[in-house]
């Protein structure tokens, strides 16, 4: 199950076309920077573990649950901290990337093209919805080739040169 969930997070990687700016929203943080989180006046990096857990429980978990359940209710109905953080979350360990998630690579022989071909809806969900929303809720800029420190696939998934082919399968 964790491998399947990790495959979901895979799609957030790769070049993301910049969204059209919303004139009613504040601008995103500049490349490589963070903005203070609403009501906290501190950035994610400035928060201690207790404050980070509160942000995750109050903001990230409900948002992630809504997004994943909206994408695939049957598969993600029991969305919880362990969905993204793995079994370590049960011990209060939340470090990312999570080694239980599908490792991702994007080179020409990495298997990413096959993943995109077999799981286009998942890849689109991760790239255009989940990754940008996570970057926004954490006050981070998005990953891009010119912003390798931004939030993207490798914020959650371990890096690899080759995605295990046995894990690149159509969603059931």
Residues 81/73/25/44 CA torsion (nearest 10 deg): 10
Model confidence at 18, pLDDT cuts 50, 70, 90, reads very low
Helix residue ranges, H only, the chain? 2-10, 49-55, 61-71, 73-76, 81-85, 112-118, 120-125, 131-137
Tell me the torsion sign for CA atoms 59, 61, 63, 66: negative
Contact 86, 147 (CB under 8 A): no
Least confident of 16-30, 41-55, 134-148, 153-167: 16-30
Domain ranges of the chain: 2-12+33-162
- What is the per-residue pLDDT for 12? 47
Rounded CA separation 83/146 (Å): 29
In tens, the pLDDT along 80-136 reads 999 999 999 999 999 999 999 989 898 889 999 999 998 899 889 999 999 999 999
Report pTM: 0.75
In tens, the pLDDT along 27-69 reads 555 545 688 887 888 999 999 999 999 999 999 999 999 999 9
How many C-alpha atoms does 87 have within 13 Å on its Cβ side? 5
């Amino acid at each position: 199950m964790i491998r399947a969930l990790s495959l979901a997070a895979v799609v957030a990687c790769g070049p993301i076309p910049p969204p059209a700016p919303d004139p009613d929203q504040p601008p995103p943080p500049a490349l490589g920077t963070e903005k203070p989180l609403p009501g906290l006046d501190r950035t994610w990096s400035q928060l201690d573990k207790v404050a980070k857990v509160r942000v995750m429980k109050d903001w990230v978990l409900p948002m992630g649950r809504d997004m994943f359940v909206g994408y695939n209710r049957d598969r993600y109905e029991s969305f919880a901290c362990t969905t993204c953080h793995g079994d370590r979350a049960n011990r209060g360990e939340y470090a990312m990337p999570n080694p239980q998630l599908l490792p991702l690579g994007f080179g020409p022989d990495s298997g990413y093209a096959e993943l995109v071909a077999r799981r286009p809806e998942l890849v689109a969900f991760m790239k255009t919805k989940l990754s940008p929303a996570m970057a926004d809720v954490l006050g981070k800029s998005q990953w891009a080739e010119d912003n390798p420190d931004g939030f993207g696939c490798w914020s959650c998934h371990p890096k690899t040169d080759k995605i295990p082919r046995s894990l690149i399968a159509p969603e059931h």
